[in-house]
Amino acid sequence: MNSKEKSINAYKTIGEVTKELGLIDKKTGRLQTHTIRYWETQFKQIKPSIRAGKRRYYSNKVFKVIKHIKFLLKERGLTINGVKKILNMQQSGSIDDHINIGITKPNLETAKFIKKKVKNISKIIEELKKLK
Fold that domain 12-101 belongs to in CATH: Multidrug-efflux Transporter Regulator; Chain: A; Domain 2 (1.10.1660)
Domain boundaries of the chain, sorted by first residue: 12-101, 104-132
Across residues 80-101, what is the average pLDDT? 67
Q: Residues 18, 23, 26, 28: is their CA dihedral positive or negative?
A: negative
What is the pLDDT confidence band of residue 107, given thresholds at 50, 70 and 90?
A: low
Among residues 93, 89, 94, 114, which one has the least CA distance to residue 104? 89
CA distance 81 to 24: 24
What is the pLDDT confidence band of residue 97, given thresholds at 50, 70 and 90?
A: very low
